[in-house]
Amino acid sequence: MGRNMVGTVFSSPLRRAEVCRNSWIVAFAAGAVLLAGCGGEKGADGAGEAKRVRRVAVETAPVERRSFTDYFELLGTVHGNREATMVFEVGGVVEEVIARKGSFVKKGDPIARLDDELYRAGLDEAEAALVIAKETYERSTALKEKGAIAEHDLSSLRQEYEMAKARRAGAKARWERTVLRAPFDGYVDERFLDEGDYASPVSPFVRVIDLSTVKVETPVPEAHLALVHEGGDAWITAGQYENRVFEGKITFVSREVDRSTRTVGVEVTLDNRDGALRPGMTVRARLVRKIYEEAIVVPQDAVVNTEHGPGVFLAVDGEAEMRNVGVEAVYNELAVIGSGLEAGETLITTGARDLVEGEAIEIVSGGEADVDH
């Protein structure tokens, strides 16, 4: 009995330990199953995320051929096609200013008049002398027919008559020149003397300008000399008229290169009947550099710089493909591609600067969206 009691004392703790151990095993197994379930669910989500690839939104356009004109631009200055600084050909006091500053005058219109009293008197005197010389010569001619005058005397009277006619013509011309007249249709742009001032043949009186046509003078670098020729087209723009282009023709190319600036003077003549362009204005002259026929032309923003030179991205099977290209000309945000592209390919026009080779893309404009759903 004592043995059974001893056995009972020692066997009870062992059983309790075994029960505890089994309980821990069951709990651990249950935890493992729970963790395995959680881990399996997380792994499924990760696999789903792995299938979703980041795509860059881009816009595309088909590569096409078209004509393209490349230009170069230069600054120029506007001048009146005809400008005349006028002076009186005779001296005198300015008696009347007829055409005021800014007024339009037609060819032959009076602009101003001098005090003509002395010149009128000179003309009257010359006319009177001419009448006397004429009558004397005519009477002498009649006497010559009667043999009453020598041929020598008649010849002298003839010369005096001719001289009287010349003196009368000179006096009339001087008197007529007391009125200053417009040399052509134009505007009185400036006046240098006022009524009461003394005008002489060396004193500028007014400047008249013809604005119906104007000239734009621009210096062309000698490197571009072969590109300009008389009769060539030119386009003029002015900051004062943002949306207007004036068309003109090259009417003069200097035969000499300026040694200090290495430029050649060029003049462009253009219509200006509405007077929009004014002498002295600074404008921009656009001249043709080269005309391309059937060229591949792309937006300048589509061209990116790479370590191998200029390049573009093409949309190929949902990915961005880098293609190095040769750029021949750039003007007005367009680029002429000489090599590396073919018509019909799909060019990425917007978003190219954010791309790398092989990156997945989503076409949001210019074609159907290239997205896996």
pLDDT in tens, 260-314: 999 999 999 999 999 899 999 999 999 999 999 999 999 999 999 988 899 999 9
Query: How are beta strands 361-365 and 56-62 bridged, if at all?
Result: parallel
Is residue 220 domain-resident? yes
Question: For the whole model, what pTM was predicted?
Answer: 0.64
The CATH number of whichever domain residue 272 belongs to comes to 2.40.30.170
Which of 131, 154, 177 is the C-terminal boundary of a domain?
A: 177
Is residue 86 domain-resident? no
Say how many C-beta atoms besides its own lie within 10 A of residue 61's C-beta.
17
The CATH number of whichever domain residue 146 belongs to comes to 1.10.287.470
**How many domains, in total, are found in the chain?**
3
- For residues 177 and 199, the answer to whether their CB atoms sit within 8 Å is no
Using alpha carbons, select from 108, 111, 84, 92 the residue that is nearest to residue 100: 111
Is residue 370 domain-resident? no
Q: What is the pLDDT of residue 81?
A: 87
Which CA distances in Å does 307 have to 46, 190, 236, 311?
A: 37, 61, 39, 10
Which of 156, 177, 198 is the C-terminal boundary of a domain?
A: 177
Q: Are 331 and 263 in the same domain?
A: no
- Percentage of the chain exceeding pLDDT 70: 83
Q: Are 282 and 309 in the same domain?
A: no
10, two tokens = 């020692």
Q: Are 326 and 358 in the same domain?
A: yes
The CATH number of whichever domain residue 340 belongs to comes to 2.40.420.20
- Round to the nearest angstrom and report the end-to-end CA distance of the chain: 82
Distance separating alpha carbons of residues 57 and 369, to the nearest angstrom: 9
DSSP string for residues in 93-112: EEEEE-SPTT-EE-TT-EEE
Q: What is the pLDDT of residue 234?
A: 95
Which of 269, 290, 311 is the C-terminal boundary of a domain?
A: 290
- For residues 86 and 205, the answer to whether their CB atoms sit within 8 Å is yes
pLDDT digits (tens, 9 = 90+) for 32-66: 434 444 444 444 454 445 456 678 889 999 999 99
Report which residue type is found at 334: L
Report the sign of the C-alpha dihedral through residues 125, 126, 128, 132, in that order: positive
pLDDT digits (tens, 9 = 90+) for 17-35: 444 444 444 444 444 434 4
39 burial via Cβ count (<10 Å: 0-12, 13-18, 19+): exposed
Residues spanned by the domain of 303: 56-68+293-365
Is residue 204 domain-resident? no
Q: Are 322 and 349 in the same domain?
A: yes
